[in-house]
Chains A and B, each alone.
Chain A
């Protein structure tokens, strides 16, 4: 028996052009361009901020306390005479570090739950769905504050509690995305080859929902940055003298009348960071024609 030749349409694989695709996705709209430009500044701050800082971020009394902007201190000094610009440049790391860890953890826990739930279907799916529904209904800030009251505000407590609060939300969205691809024939093919559940979930399903996962990660990261910065602002997160931006806002709040720049500068930095990630995620979402499902589920 001879095999008939495979039609060309089935063997032709379009050449992959990841750089061009990425550029189109990120810079294809004005929103994306603005967002990427601001993000680039933040990435430079992450890499070179501490080197570029004119003073030590924690040294007290490099200038007079609560001075306005001047040539020596471009953003003035705070209530302890520390250089605001140096603290701002140095603080980028502490603003992004913990949220990145917490979001990653939420995606491992919640993502796996969502994928497995959609793959398993049936009773497992229904049961996990119920649990997720109930957990999503818990008000996040209240739960995290109670946990911090009991266990203290160490980095590990914050990362784990925030990840736990956000993982049901991630689970819900990735379950929805997976359900759309789980009925495909390549899943049945893998099952027929005798592959086990976890490899199918990770190697067959996950790559097919990768765009949703990436957009979701960006959006979720923004919310987690806002959340953890808020904890710092409330004074129940990172301890002084850390140059964390949320903490900087809180520390300079009592003297906002005499020295508003020390409060406004870190607040604007946080705002710009969050808005830029939001813009990029929004632009990618529109380009890919994805539905932004997390919009109402902060």
Chain B
């Protein structure tokens, strides 16, 4: 019961977040510009053209109606036409979205085990040089802007050693080994950026669990160290980590946008930045909704995972 109620609250929060993202997107891009028709048709348009555009787009109707209409169209798959390329927004967004999802997923798959391994290792050696060193390193990376981390890796791996491509357009245009290589730098950078968050949480949890009475009891019972670590310390330290992974999802969304721009990776984030620069509002709207949906969904999955893993939330109280 408690678990269901908790999940219900989280589902409500997810829905509310998504609603807010869509409302901010709609009002910022549809209501605030004093004349959307003028933005869409340009300065050369005649008053008659403007009026017929308003009629056609339903701009004369009340704002709430327009919001519902816009959202309805989006759900039905009509994402509008790009102002710049004059093509369907959906056609350019969907393939890029898939590539971005691959980058984000691979980065998580890199960051979580790496952070976990480092966190357990240093958490068990609290205060020793290796712990201090890794903590300082994590603080250092966390203090750097994402694009600086990306550029350092770019200069090392692509400029100095020349083992990887300077930019990642091959992810869309290349094939075979070139296509794979185009993914490496973005995934590596994003993975390195996400690691410090998770690492710190694992480290603190492992340290606290290692100090706890039940671990001391296990040690006093004469259990081998390996068993104490893997059966007593790590499981108890794992749970809050899921929360941190969920928290770092907002970081992931921002990270994808920045990293794709650093490496010229043909994904949804780079397209978003280009569309913001070009004032291509239909594309901006579609990407904002897609990213919002992805973010909210992953967040909810993480919440559900917390319930699944936490015995205190699983049982009725």
Known: A146-B29, A150-B33, A235-B273. A274 touches B147 (CB 8 A): no
Residue B276 at the A interface, CB < 8 A? yes
B17 touches A137 (CB 8 A): yes
Q: Is A296 an interface residue (CB 8 A)?
A: yes
Could you tell me the distance in whole angstroms from the C-beta of B277 to the nearest C-beta in chain A?
Answer: 6
Per-residue CB contact flags for chain A residues 245-259 toward chain B (1 = under 8 Å, else 0) read 010010001001100
Q: Check B151 against A236 for contact (C-beta < 8 Å).
A: no
- Binary per-residue interface labels of chain B (247-277) against chain A in the complex, 1 for a CB within 8 Å, 0 otherwise: 1011101100110011000000000110111
Please tell me which stretch of B53-61, B68-76, B152-160, B309-317 contacts chain A, meaning at least 4 of its Cβ atoms lie within 8 angstroms of it. Answer: B152-160
Q: Give the contact stretch, choosing among B99-107, B118-126, B136-144.
A: B136-144
Among B158, B250, B258, B292, point to the contact of A234 (Cβ < 8 A): B258
- Distance in angstroms from A75 CB to nearest chain B CB is 15
Q: Which of B24, B143, B277 contacts A146 (CB 8 A)?
A: B24
Contact with A along B208-251 (1 / 0, CB 8 A): 00000000000000000000000000000000000010010111
Say if the beta carbon of A270 comes within 8 Å of chain B: yes
Query: Which of B24, B139, B144: most chain A Cβ within 10 A?
Result: B144
Evaluate contact between B13 and A137: CB separation under 8 angstroms: yes
With A140-B254, A295-B200, A296-B197 as known contacts, state yes or no: A233 contacts B32, CB within 8 Å.
Answer: no
- Do A137 and B299 touch across chains, with their CB atoms under 8 A apart? yes
Residue of A nearest to B16 (CB): A134
Chain A residue with the shortest CB-CB distance to B261 = A234
Residues from chain A with a CB closer than 8 A to the CB of B279 are: 149
Decide yes or no whether A230 CB sits under 8 A from chain B: yes
Give the residues in chain B near A151, CB-CB below 8 Å. Answer: 28, 32
Give the dominant DSSP class at A's interface.
Answer: helix
- B145 and A236 contact, CB distance less than 8 A: no
> CB-CB < 8 A to B249: which residues of A?
139
B284 touches A267 (CB 8 A): no
Q: Which A-chain residue is minimally distant from B264 (CB atoms)? A: A253
- B281 in contact with A150 (CB, 8 Å): yes
Which residues does chain A contribute within 8 Å of B155, judged by CB atoms? 256, 260, 263-264
| A-B interface pairs (CB < 8 A), number | 146
Within A67-124, which residues are at the interface with B (CB < 8 Å)?
none
CB of A149 within 8 A of CB of B281, answer yes
B147–A236 CB distance below 8 A: no
- Tell me the smallest distance from the CB of B130 to a CB of chain A, in Å: 18
Is B81 on the interface with A (CB-CB < 8 A)?
Answer: no
> In chain B, what residue has the closest Cβ to A268?
B148
Q: Decide yes or no whether A148 CB sits under 8 A from chain B.
A: yes
Is B21 part of the binding interface, using a Cβ–Cβ cutoff of 8 Å? yes
Chain B proximity of A212: nearest CB distance (Å)? 19
Report yes or no: A230 in contact with B143, Cβ–Cβ below 8 A.
Answer: no
Q: Which residues from chain B contact A230 at a C-beta distance below 8 Å?
A: 145-147, 254, 258
Which residue from A141, A268, A274 sits with its C-beta under 8 Å from B253?
A141
Question: Is B11 in contact with chain A by the CB < 8 A criterion?
Answer: no
B291 touches A257 (CB 8 A): no
* B21 with A275: CB separation less than 8 A: no
- Give the interface of B toward A (CB within 8 A): 13, 16-17, 20-21, 24-25, 28-29, 32-33, 139-140, 142-148, 151-152, 154-155, 158-159, 166, 197, 200-201, 244, 247, 249-251, 253-254, 257-258, 261-262, 272-273, 275-277, 279, 281, 284, 288, 291-292, 295, 299
**7 A-B pairs closest in CB distance:** A141-B254, A278-B143, A150-B28, A149-B276, A139-B253, A139-B250, A275-B143
